[in-house]
Amino acid sequence: MRRAVPLLVSLVLILAACGPNASNSASPTTGSTVAPPASGSAPAESQAPLTASGDIFAYGFAYETGDIIAKTRADVFKDKYPDVKVTYSESGFDDQKFLAALAGSDKPDAVNLPRNKIGTYIAQGVLEPLDDCIAKTGFDTSVFYDAAKADVTVDGKMYAFPEFYNTRNWIINNKAFKDAGIDPNSLNWGDWDAIAQANQKLVKKDGDKITRIGIDPKIPEFLPLWVKADGGSVMSDDGKTSQLDSQQTIDAVKYTTDLVKAQGDPTKWLDFRNTWDFFGAKNQVASDQVGAWPMEQWYLNVLAQNSPDVDITVKPFMTKDGQPITYEDGNAWAIVKGTDNPDAACALASTMVATDTWVAAAKARAEDAKSKNKPQTGVYTGNRDADKIIFDQYVDLSSMPVFEAAVKAVLDNQENAFGTAPSPGAAGFQTAMTAGVNQVLSGSATPEDAMKAAQQDAQDAIDSAGS
């Protein structure tokens, strides 16, 4: 309690400075052996049982306002562990609120958080390694995609179960390419000069006004992908050394910002992009406002549901060496250190990402989409066994060949992913990288100067995170 006082006090003052701006206790009761626990690679009945009961608080997950995937998985858990009562925070993960929850009397027992933030919490000793949980449940962690698993592993220990698996591929507007006389299938997507030339042909203007963006490199968000494609990395594998001032990073920043500048005034380019109806029927593809851009695969579902007639091609992002590559992220389920009910927290975390749970959720979504006569392009999980069953059995896009081919292209590239190394200074690193790239984009600094300053900030954030 004494250690919590400074946090509460400083929270109050700092929130006050920012202007006018849940749970239940973990109390294990008499346990009961319940239905077989979460499974990794196989159906539940093949796993060792886990005894769990009592109340737990799960932070970073919404049941009431969650979608059918969230609700179904929570219901599966409820069916498997009827003696465990879970209170969900009914919100997404938020650092500030999570800190307050950690300092409160009702500490979370389990947490659902972005994998690119997990390094910070591991370094600070907030999360429990999953060794015991994996041993008790017999969870086969080899079902997880390697990159997703690497995101949550430090010094050989897994600290969380990967949940979703968002990967990036090129989404190509075939109409724009046809207008420009470019065949997206014959363009060498690993040749940056070829991409730059295509960019010039694809961009469309009305006087000074951009009416169609040629290539949107999606920076700073996807800078790590561009750097990787050039053979570098924005951070060391152990997450402890920023490499924002490496030659590959500077080259990637220069190349991608030049792609934008080649299309006109970057400020007007950004203004135009901000007008896109990204989640609507008049999205940038349907309205012919973009040539191509790397994008997470969940966006296919947006396009399929809102503008099913768009003509697109999905191609893998390529390294300069001609190898397919993708950058992944997503959330993960972890157990909070010091929980009074580690077994129930383990049961929840493992069940949420188990093969049978994902399959049940995908089935529910497929049935829901069918009842509403809407297409669905599937659920992309961190569990490759679940993905296989889901896409084999519950995703039928035979009536939408464009999307069928797009989904196939995504699935073919799933194993070529890399993620974010779990870094103690993850948030500070991200802020520094974003600021650096945006400074170049706005013309406030050269790539060399901006990334040198960003490197200093990022390394400072990493170094001080452990203190």
Partner 1 sequence: MTAGAQRSEVKVIGGVPWTRNTRQDLKWVLLFLAPWIIGFVVLTAGPMLWTLYLSFTNYNPISQNVHFIGLDNYERMLRDRHVINSLYNTLFYTVLHVPLSMGIALFLALMLNRIGGRSAGFFRTAFYVPNLTPAVAVGTLFLMLLNGNSGLVNQALGMLGIDGPSWLNDPAWVKPGIIIMSLWTVGNTVVIYFAALKNVPIELYEAARIDGANAWQQFRKVTVPMISGALFFTFIINTIASLQLFTEVYTMFFGQQQGQSSGAGQAALFYVIYLFQQAFGVFRMGYASALAWLLFVVIVIITVIQVRVSRRFVFYEGE
Q: Residues in the site for partner 1, rule: CB under 8 A?
A: 3-7, 9-14, 16-21, 95-96, 99, 102-103, 120-121, 124-126, 209, 218-221, 265-268, 270-275, 425, 427-428, 430-431, 434-435, 437-439, 441-442, 444, 453, 457, 461, 464-465, 467
Complex with partner 1: residue 379 or 421, whichever CB lies closer = 421
Task: Provide the minimum distance between the beta carbon of 435 and partner 1 in the complex, in angstroms, as a whole number.
Answer: 7
Per the CB < 8 A criterion, the answer to whether 309 and 150 are in contact is no
Task: Provide the minimum distance between the beta carbon of 219 and partner 1 in the complex, in angstroms, as a whole number.
Answer: 6
Residues forming a β-bridge with 314: 171
Distance of alpha carbon 290 from alpha carbon 46, whole angstroms:
49
Task: Provide the minimum distance between the beta carbon of 325 and partner 1 in the complex, in angstroms, as a whole number.
Answer: 20
Complex with partner 1: residue 221 or 404, whichever CB lies closer = 221
Complex with partner 1: residue 27 or 211, whichever CB lies closer = 211
Pick from 4, 22, 312: nearest CA to 169: 312
Complex with partner 1: residue 80 or 107, whichever CB lies closer = 107
Task: Provide the minimum distance between the beta carbon of 266 and partner 1 in the complex, in angstroms, as a whole number.
Answer: 6
Task: Provide the minimum distance between the beta carbon of 125 and partner 1 in the complex, in angstroms, as a whole number.
Answer: 6
Complex with partner 1: residue 4 or 48, whichever CB lies closer = 4
Complex with partner 1: residue 80 or 228, whichever CB lies closer = 228
Complex with partner 1: residue 3 or 181, whichever CB lies closer = 3
Complex with partner 1: residue 98 or 403, whichever CB lies closer = 98
Three-state helix/strand/coil letters over the chain: CCCHHHHHHHHHHHHHHCCCCCCCCCCCCCCCECCCCCCCCCCHHHCCCCECCEEEEEECCCCCCCCHHHHHHHHHHHHHCCCEEEEECCCCCCHHHHHHHHHCCCCCCEEEEEHHHHHHHHHCCCECCCHHHHHHHCCCHHHECHHHHHHCEECCEECCEECECEEEEEEEEHHHHHHHCCCCCCCCCCCHHHHHHHHHHHCEEECCEEEEEEECCCCCCCHHHHHHHCCCCCECCCCCCECCCCHHHHHHHHHHHHHHHCCCCHHHHHHHHCCCCCCCCCCCCCCCCEEEEEEECCHHHHHHHHCCCCCEEEECEECCCCCEEEEEECEEEEEECCCCCHHHHHHHHHHHCCHHHHHHHHHHHHHHHHHCCCCCCCCCECEHHHHHHHHHHHCCCCCCHHHHHHHHHHHHCHHHEECCCCCCCHHHHHHHHHHHHHHHHCCCCCHHHHHHHHHHHHHHHHHHHCC
Task: Provide the minimum distance between the beta carbon of 178 and partner 1 in the complex, in angstroms, as a whole number.
Answer: 25
Complex with partner 1: residue 27 or 275, whichever CB lies closer = 275
Complex with partner 1: residue 11 or 42, whichever CB lies closer = 11
Task: Provide the minimum distance between the beta carbon of 102 and partner 1 in the complex, in angstroms, as a whole number.
Answer: 7
For residue 464, which phi and psi values (nearest 5 degrees)? Answer: -85, -10
Complex with partner 1: residue 247 or 464, whichever CB lies closer = 464
Complex with partner 1: residue 106 or 221, whichever CB lies closer = 221
Task: Provide the minimum distance between the beta carbon of 37 and partner 1 in the complex, in angstroms, as a whole number.
Answer: 30
Pick from 148, 204, 65: nearest CA to 333: 148
Task: Provide the minimum distance between the beta carbon of 3 and partner 1 in the complex, in angstroms, as a whole number.
Answer: 5
Task: Provide the minimum distance between the beta carbon of 11 and partner 1 in the complex, in angstroms, as a whole number.
Answer: 8
Per the CB < 8 A criterion, the answer to whether 44 and 35 are in contact is yes
For residue 147, which phi and psi values (nearest 5 degrees)? Answer: -65, -40
Task: Provide the minimum distance between the beta carbon of 221 and partner 1 in the complex, in angstroms, as a whole number.
Answer: 5
Residues forming a β-bridge with 325: 317
Nearest-5° angle of CA 421, CA 142, CA 166?
A: 50
Task: Provide the minimum distance between the beta carbon of 217 and partner 1 in the complex, in angstroms, as a whole number.
Answer: 9
